[in-house]
C-alpha cells in the first residue's frame, strides 16, 4: 500500500485524542526559547530522500526553533506501526496546523524539512513566510545516490520520509503565514 494512503480498515483501532491531549501536544511543541526578539527566521532544510536532513536538523536546530514536521508528529502520536498518515490524520492535522499558526502568530523561529523537488511550492512557502515578516534561511543536505539508497535500506520504523510529510507542513506554514496580520 502507498504510504500516503489513508487506511480505512474497519478492524483497525482508530486512536482518539481528547481536546486536552491535543492541547498538550501543541503546547509541548512551542518552546519558549524559540520566541524571536527580532525578525523571526524559518529554516527550510532541503535535500533528497535519506540525504541527512533530520540529522542536520537535530545537530544544528535542536533548540531555539519550533519544529513543524508532519513525519515527526506522526511518530510522536504513535504512528510507528502505521502507514502514513493512516488513522492519525485527524490529530496530526489538528496539532500540526495549530503549532504552525501559533508559531507564526507568536513570531517564533521555525525549522522544517522538505525534499523541495518542485520549485513553485518552495517559492510559495518562502514568499508567504517572508510576507509574514520572516527571514527564510535554506539549509541543504546532500548525499550521492548510492549513499541515499544505503540509508534508505537502513531506515527504521520510527522514520517517515519528508517526501510524504512535506505537503502537510508546507500547507500548515503557508496557511499560518497568510493568517498572520501584517
| Domain range summary for the chain, segments of one domain joined by + | 40-179
Q: Say which residue the cell 533528497 belongs to.
A: 48
- For residue 156, what pLDDT is reported? 61
Query: Can you tell me the distance from the alpha carbon of 139 to that of 56, in angstroms, rounded to the nearest whole number?
Result: 9
- For residue 29, what pLDDT is reported? 94
- For residue range 93-113, list pLDDT tens digits in order: 999 999 999 999 999 999 999
- For residue 167, what pLDDT is reported? 94
- For residue 150, what pLDDT is reported? 80
- For residue 130, what pLDDT is reported? 97
What does pTM read for this prediction?
A: 0.85
- For residue 8, what pLDDT is reported? 46
Q: Which of 164, 176, 177, 4 is nearest to 69 (CA)?
A: 164
Residues 6+ apart with CB under 8 A from 41: 109, 110, 134, 135, 136, 137
Residue ranges of the chain whose pLDDT lies below 50: 1-10
- For residue 5, what pLDDT is reported? 36
Task: Check if CATH label 3.40.1400.10 holds for domain 40-179.
Answer: no
- For residue 26, what pLDDT is reported? 94
Q: Buried (b) or exposed (e) across 5-28, using 16+ Cβ within 10 A?
A: eeeeeeeeeeeebeeeebeebbee
Amino acid at each position: 500500500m502507498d504510504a500516503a494512503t489513508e487506511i480505512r480498515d474497519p478492524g483497525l483501532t482508530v486512536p482518539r485524542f481528547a481536546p486536552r491531549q491535543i492541547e498538550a501536544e501543541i503546547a509541548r511543541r512551542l518552546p519558549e526559547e524559540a520566541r524571536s526578539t527580532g525578525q523571526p527566521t524559518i529554516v527550510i532544510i532541503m535535500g533528497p530522500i535519506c540525504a541527512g536532513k533530520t540529522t542536520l536538523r537535530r545537530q544544528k536546530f535542536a533548540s531555539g526553533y519550533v519544529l513543524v514536521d508532519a513525519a515527526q508528529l506522526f511518530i510522536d502520536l504513535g504512528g510507528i506501526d502505521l502507514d502514513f498518515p493512516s488513522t492519525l490524520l485527524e490529530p496530526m492535522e489538528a496539532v500540526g496546523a495549530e503549532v504552525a499558526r501559533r508559531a507564526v502568530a507568536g513570531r517564533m523561529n521555525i525549522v522544517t524539512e522538505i525534499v523541495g523537488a518542485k520549485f513553485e511550492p518552495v517559492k510559495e512557502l518562502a514568499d508567504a513566510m517572508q510576507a509574514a515578516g520572516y527571514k527564510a534561511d535554506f539549509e541543504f543536505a546532500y548525499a550521492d545516490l548510492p549513499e541515499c539508497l544505503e540509508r534508505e535500506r537502513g531506515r527504521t520504523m520510527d522514520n517517515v520520509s519528508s517526501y510524504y510529510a512535506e505537503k502537510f507542513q508546507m500547507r500548515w506554514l503557508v496557511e499560518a503565514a497568510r493568517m498572520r496580520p501584517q
